[in-house]
Structure 1
Amino acid sequence: MALILARLYAVAALNTLFTSLNSPGQLKGWQANGGDPCGESWQGITCSGAGVTAIKLSNLGLSGNLAYNMNNLGSLVELDMSQNSLGGGNQIEYNLPTIKLERLNLAGNQFGGNIPYSIFSMSNLKYLNLNHNQLQGNMTDVFSNLYSLSTLDLSFNSLTGDLPQSFTGLSSLKQLYLQNNQFTGYINVLANLPLNDLNVANNRFTGWIPSQLKKINSLQTDGNSWSTGPAPPPPPYTAPPPPNRGPDQNGSSNSGGKSGISGGAIAGIIISLLVVGAVVAFFMIKRRKRKSARAAHFEQHQPFTSFASNEVKDVPYMKPIEEPTTIDIESLASPASVSLKPPSKIASHKSFDDDDFLNKPVAKKSNTIPIKATVYSVADLQMATDSFNFDNLVGEGTFGRVYRAQFNDGKVLAIKKLDSTVMPFQSSDDFAELISNISKLHHPNLNELVGYCMEHGQHLLVYDFHRNGSLHDLLHLSDEYSKPLSWNSRVKIALGSARALEYLHEICSPSIVHKNFKSSNILLDSEFNPHLSDAGLASFIPDAEFQAAEQSAGYTAPEVDMTGQYTLKSDVYSFGVVMLELLTGRRPFDSSRPRSEQSLVRWATPQLHDIDALDRMVDPALKGLYPAKSLSRFADVLALCVQPEPEFRPPMSEVVQALVRLVQRANMTKRMLDGDTSRRADDQDQDFI
């Protein structure tokens, strides 16, 4: 049965590939539906038994793209689509076959973007050729698992940045071609590789060419900015190499006459240094213990510094879309990045002399933090919420309660009253730093900060109010009179939410881990555009404390439960869980269901690649009004996101691109993307077919 399913999946992948290549007539035997690629001898296909082991379609004038389900070709050993016109500037399909692939050749095409992350999983890969494409950007660290790779050719692209550290693990690499890119930095990571051929010409490398590489027979390094002076000296306290002068007439090594130092003298110097060092270390340790005790007392009386320093750079303000009527599937560009800095050290971490510590006053932080948000008084917010009346309570989450606020000018906003037990601010400066940072986050799919209040010890945040509430409520708490979300709206919500995470992960600098991505934090406006809430708040709280405070059963990645550490990849996992909610209509964890179905991820993931089972998993509220192909592609994306191993989950930029391609392939019209809920669901889904 397994062999039959594998064969069906392989045929489906080749059918999709034929369509993605614009159904070229020059591919003899190929079909858009069904067929037998092995028994009917499709052009360029090699089989072993019932498995497709090679696809060789080089130099045939092909256009279009690779198939989205190439990973279904589980027996594929070689894929050669070189010297065509594939890609059209789009990124290489991330869902490449990984299990047995040994040779991947996509050279001489028009692929853009970066190197696909799925290459990380190709542990059997021996040959990778992506030359003469339009690849760009810094290389992601995808090479650490490619121990069998012997040839790597990335030449004639527009790749930038330093060479990734994972290059040092390419223990079988013999040929490396990086010429005609825009790489920068040093090439020291290549020093100990077993290279026979190396070409790094016409880049922007600097520094010195390691001496090990100069021994390579075929070495090309022209067109870089190499340092011409002597190589840097060895690190301090490292003895220089002995002079190579050969033995003297007595058979002993010549030390250079009177200027030399005997071995006994060197030993004496070393012993003396060790003794002096030990004495100095003893007194330093004693002194540090005294200062630590004082510093601990001092720290208890100083304010806690939040997740960003005072010197936060201003960024251009990007006005939120007031009437977001369409999703721009053509543009993947994100707004200007926000510059956040790591935690600044509080005063007690600084080293003081004892006299300085005892006699000099400690300067307090000056509150010069730039904040671009409206300041509200407690009285204003009390009046707008009827003294935070229970009737105006619209939600309660990890960080506190949220109230609906109606102001005199008719404006309706949402007030988040922060829970002091979760976010304990030691001073107004701490809260001001937090406000400064989250006020700089601007993206159409973020719930942006409007204002704040910090009077009388209160810490309140003011956000836009979205009338359709949260995705969680719409999926799980709607009554029988509520109209369910159409399939189009679900795809739209997934794509917008993915773009919000992509902004936090890959546009903000440094990256922001949301830590609390879940359907209750995805707010929907009147046109069902998603707005991710709580961005930047969890960064203020250490991982261990946040894990103890949050209650997101079913959303947390396995590694967070094991290590307590949140990462970009744990956010990707949580995003996959939300996609599962959109697909099935089920809660991430539901104790009312049979034990085997309580955990949504555990129940759903084994069925995501079974077409019949997938059809049974779909939210009954859709009443069958969804396109099978779109559903399958949606399931493929989320399956990658909820993989148990974090290194196998794609970055959010690849998730965004996959969902964009899903929308493009489904031929959604702009009318569909407007989210026009007045149309009948069955009429809407005609646009997918």
Structure 2
Amino acid sequence: MGLNGFLGSQLSSFLSLQQLDVSFNNIGGEIPSALPPNTIFLNLAINNFSNSIPYSLHSLKSLKLLNVSHNFLSGPIGNMFTDMQSLEKLDLSFNFFSGDLPNGFSSFTNLHELYLQDNRFTGSVNFLAQLPLSVLNLENNNFSGSIPEQFESIQEFRYSGNQFQTGLMPPKPPLNEGVHPLSTPNENISGPFTTSNPFNYSSLQLRNHKRRILRSWAVAVVAVVLIALFVATATIVNIYREQIVHICRQQKSNFNTDKISNDSLLSLPVTVPTVPALNLDQWPIGSPSTSTNRRSSIHHKKPEGWSKRKVTCRKPRNQPTAKIYSASELSIATNNFSQERLLGAGPNGCVYRAEFSDGQVVAVKRIDMLPLAVHEEDDFLDLVWNMSRLQHQNITSLLGYCVDQGQYSLVYEYASGRSLADALFSSSDTCKALSWKARVKISLGVAHALEYLHCLCIPPIAHGSIKATNILLGNQYTPQLTDCGIATLRPLIEPKPEASELRNHINCYAAPESSVPRSDEVKSDVYSFGVILLEILTGKRAFDISRRKHEQFLVNWASSRLHDFSLLEDIVDPSIRDTIPPEVLSRFADIILLCIQPQPEFRMGMTEIVGKFVHLVQKMGHDASDSDLNMSDLSFKSTVAYFE
């Protein structure tokens, strides 16, 4: 049907779905970890899927046919094919898979057809000799070694284009060139397919599909050229306008030197040249509203050293979809930001409880901004636009914002619960210690939120400030991640004179490479998430100056103990130590280790982490009577299909 976009993260709710065919489309992104749990026939061929096969695939115990051919899947295949005895036909052809085949392939006791051609696989294929194969295609890979004698009995066996030892077997006669040799669905499976063999694709179909892709690329190239022209025009106009503004201010300053100081307020109307709005970003959620217009005049303090500021290229800006609040509205609602309304404070500013006359209660984060230039204020509004479009049950919703009278505030939905830091570290008798199952639920919810930011948002969004105080706990311990993306504003936030202890509290979650320019911020989020998991497991803060010197930084102290099970048990929070099965504890420690690797390239992506948590919860089992885990809670069962 030529569909674009992405597959959502809620497919696991289709409990009765047995056949899913989305082949011959332009669907992109990753294959979601949450797939219909009772699927028998799954066809994702000829799309634009990237990354790799999700680890959670092994949970599809009923799967008989799987086709992911003709995509952009890459990297080594993990050992996710264990215990999939029902699989009869598997097609991984025409991708960019690499590395050796996983040992899990040897568990395919009912596999009859296997297509691996046109990838970059390496290593031996000896362990495939015991499979009951009637079709095997290994062409155009980097397989090596000898060809097992058992392959002689395979009816259709093709192996050219590899590095096998020569002279072992004569090549098989070529297959029908007009049909791509993909597997055929089981005859006993009936469904809404228009052909008797939906896995067979003719060369004409493939050519038509490639033609559509080429047309899409041509349109994209034309769009990029037009965008470049608009950006260049906007840049020239912006530079000219900034120069005019600077000259006008200098003239006004010289004219009123006896009346105006450098710290006084300027109110200079600046007419912003209109640039056609171009939607450059693709998002998995609704399009931005066009009802909110940017003000034609900007009122702000005169920045120190204005003439030395670097003027960046103006790009077309998207208008925020959140509600606009005035400074007076927020001042009244927070009782003039009084101390009794203060909910918390951090390096970016303070959060206050706001109560409006209509009874609405919200949380207002007042950000301590430096005086901003026009293009810097645009950066702030871009952040607001991005945050206002985040829609996930484990992410705090942004309701509105304020850019008025030098005040920059963000208005969030109000969370009446405490933060994860309060729940883990508070010494108050009213704070009940979190059970092990509640801690796993919180970990899984935060993992879902990060998977949404990293994998479902295009381009990916890095949170940048993951810490226990930014994870709020709602009813039944449902976690909500807050302050998403605010870390990008750090260069614009007024620096505070921080003591070394405060800096340690801020940096104890940061990845080792976070101080390096242009480092992978998504991978840095994974490291910070690993620190959170370590806090959840040990009940200790990421940094605590009251501990002995070598124990103050939790990661440095605990990393070596995660490898040794006898030492691992000693670092677990005593309140939950006796409630964790040994195998589950070992798996949880493995997830932490995969997150806090010093080198970012060795850290696991969030989709794989979610898959490992799903497998961990399977090992735990579930108890619907446990008050800490309400199985009807959507955030906990969204991708854990076996809870249904």
Measure the CA separation in 2 of the matches of 1:172 and 1:496. Answer: 41
Q: 1:469 to 1:105 in 2, by over 3 A?
A: closer
Match of 1:215 in 2: none
The one-letter code matched in structure 1 to 2:412 is Y
The one-letter code matched in structure 2 to 1:311 is N
Match of 1:488 in 2: 437
Note if contact 1:338-1:441 (Cα within 8 Å) is conserved in structure 2. no
Cα deviation 1:404-443 (Å, max 9, x = unaligned) = 2122333321101112149876465443332222111100
The one-letter code matched in structure 1 to 2:524 is S
Note if contact 2:437-2:628 (Cα within 8 Å) is conserved in structure 1. no
Measure the CA separation in 2 of the matches of 1:474 and 1:664. Answer: 25
Match of 1:435 in 2: 384
3-state secondary structure, aligned to 2:540: coil
Measure the CA separation in 2 of the matches of 1:221 and 1:545. Answer: 62
- 1:81-92 superposed matches below 5 A: 87-89=61-63
State the 1:494 CA deviation: 0.3
- Give me the identity figure in percent: 34
Cα deviation 1:517-551 (Å, max 9, x = unaligned) = 111111111322111111133345679999x9986
Note if contact 1:85-1:108 (Cα within 8 Å) is conserved in structure 2. no
- For structure 1, which segment, 498-507 or 193-202, has the greater mean C-alpha deviation from structure 2 after superposition? 193-202
The one-letter code matched in structure 2 to 1:479 is S
Decide which of 469, 476, 493 is 2:418's aligned counterpart.
Answer: 469
Note if contact 2:64-2:89 (Cα within 8 Å) is conserved in structure 1. yes
Measure the CA separation in 2 of the matches of 1:134 and 1:513. Answer: 43
Match of 2:481 in 1: 532
Decide which of 557, 560, 566 is 1:603's aligned counterpart.
Answer: 557
Measure the CA separation in 2 of the matches of 1:589 and 1:91. Answer: 50
3-state secondary structure, aligned to 2:453: helix
Match of 1:357 in 2: none
Match of 1:587 in 2: 541
Note if contact 1:337-1:509 (Cα within 8 Å) is conserved in structure 2. no
State the 1:604 CA deviation: 1.4
Match of 2:279 in 1: 311
Match of 2:349 in 1: 400
Q: 1:670 to 1:310 in 2, by over 3 A?
A: farther
State the 1:638 CA deviation: 1.5
The one-letter code matched in structure 2 to 1:557 is A
Query: Are residues 1:202 and 2:151 paired?
Result: no
The number of equivalent residue pairs is 426
Q: 1:90 to 1:664 in 2, by over 3 A?
A: farther
Match of 1:523 in 2: 472
Note if contact 2:398-2:410 (Cα within 8 Å) is conserved in structure 1. yes
Cα deviation 1:268-297 (Å, max 9, x = unaligned) = xxxxxxxxxxxxxxxxxxxxxxx9xx8898
Query: Are residues 1:615 and 2:583 paired?
Result: no
Match of 2:454 in 1: 505
Match of 2:616 in 1: 662
Match of 1:570 in 2: 524
3-state secondary structure, aligned to 1:552: helix
Q: 1:623 to 1:668 in 2, by over 3 A?
A: same
Q: 1:524 to 1:380 in 2, by over 3 A?
A: same
Measure the CA separation in 2 of the matches of 1:148 and 1:543. Answer: 52
State the 1:574 CA deviation: 0.9
Measure the CA separation in 2 of the matches of 1:676 and 1:588. Answer: 29
Q: 1:406 to 1:567 in 2, by over 3 A?
A: same
Measure the CA separation in 2 of the matches of 1:544 and 1:455. Answer: 16
Note if contact 1:589-1:600 (Cα within 8 Å) is conserved in structure 2. yes
Q: 1:527 to 1:568 in 2, by over 3 A?
A: same
The one-letter code matched in structure 2 to 1:530 is P
- 1:410-425 superposed matches below 5 A: 410-421=359-370
State the 1:496 CA deviation: 0.3
State the 1:390 CA deviation: 2.1
Note if contact 2:351-2:365 (Cα within 8 Å) is conserved in structure 1. yes
Measure the CA separation in 1 of the matches of 2:180 and 2:523. Answer: 35
3-state secondary structure, aligned to 1:402: strand
Decide which of 605, 616, 621 is 1:651's aligned counterpart.
Answer: 605
3-state secondary structure, aligned to 2:433: coil
The one-letter code matched in structure 2 to 1:404 is R
3-state secondary structure, aligned to 1:660: helix
Measure the CA separation in 1 of the matches of 2:541 and 2:448. Answer: 23
Q: Compute the TM-score of the two structures, normalised by the length of structure 2.
A: 0.53
3-state secondary structure, aligned to 1:557: coil
Q: 1:493 to 1:125 in 2, by over 3 A?
A: same
- For structure 1, which segment, 457-466 or 537-546, has the greater mean C-alpha deviation from structure 2 after superposition? 537-546
Note if contact 2:441-2:478 (Cα within 8 Å) is conserved in structure 1. yes
State the 1:396 CA deviation: 2.1
The one-letter code matched in structure 2 to 1:522 is I
Report which of the two structures shows the higher radius of gyration computed on alpha carbons.
1
Measure the CA separation in 2 of the matches of 1:497 and 1:507. Answer: 15
The one-letter code matched in structure 1 to 2:551 is E
3-state secondary structure, aligned to 1:459: strand
Match of 2:407 in 1: 458
Q: 1:112 to 1:481 in 2, by over 3 A?
A: farther
State the 1:652 CA deviation: 0.5
Q: 1:85 to 1:224 in 2, by over 3 A?
A: same
- For structure 1, which segment, 618-627 or 449-458, has the greater mean C-alpha deviation from structure 2 after superposition? 618-627
The one-letter code matched in structure 1 to 2:180 is N
State the 1:611 CA deviation: 2.7
Note if contact 2:400-2:410 (Cα within 8 Å) is conserved in structure 1. yes
Decide which of 439, 445, 465 is 2:394's aligned counterpart.
Answer: 445
Measure the CA separation in 1 of the matches of 2:493 and 2:86. Answer: 47
The one-letter code matched in structure 2 to 1:512 is I
Match of 2:30 in 1: none
3-state secondary structure, aligned to 1:460: strand
3-state secondary structure, aligned to 1:527: helix
The one-letter code matched in structure 2 to 1:553 is N
Cα deviation 1:72-117 (Å, max 9, x = unaligned) = xxxxxxxxxxxx998445999xxxxx99x99x999975499999xx
Highest relative contact order (Cα 8 Å, sep 6+), 1 or 2?
2
- Structure 1, unmatched stretches of 5+, are 1-62, 64-83, 93-97, 136-141, 154-166, 177-191, 205-219, 233-290, 316-335, 341-361, 678-687
Note if contact 1:85-1:109 (Cα within 8 Å) is conserved in structure 2. no
Decide which of 344, 348, 372 is 2:321's aligned counterpart.
Answer: 372
Cα deviation 1:541-570 (Å, max 9, x = unaligned) = 679999x99863221122324556243222
Match of 2:463 in 1: 514
Cα deviation 1:604-657 (Å, max 9, x = unaligned) = 122224333222111134363444443332222212111222222221111112
- Structure 2, unmatched stretches of 5+, are 1-37, 39-57, 67-74, 114-118, 129-138, 148-160, 183-200, 215-235, 247-269, 289-310, 632-642
Q: 1:300 to 1:668 in 2, by over 3 A?
A: farther
Measure the CA separation in 2 of the matches of 1:484 and 1:391. Answer: 27
Measure the CA separation in 1 of the matches of 2:372 and 2:126. Answer: 52
Measure the CA separation in 2 of the matches of 1:459 and 1:544. Answer: 10
State the 1:397 CA deviation: 2.6
Q: 1:299 to 1:313 in 2, by over 3 A?
A: farther
Measure the CA separation in 1 of the matches of 2:544 and 2:90. Answer: 40
Match of 1:641 in 2: 595
3-state secondary structure, aligned to 1:650: coil
Match of 1:35 in 2: none
Alignment root-mean-square deviation, CA: 5.7
Measure the CA separation in 2 of the matches of 1:594 and 1:676. Answer: 39
Note if contact 1:442-1:448 (Cα within 8 Å) is conserved in structure 2. yes
The one-letter code matched in structure 2 to 1:499 is H
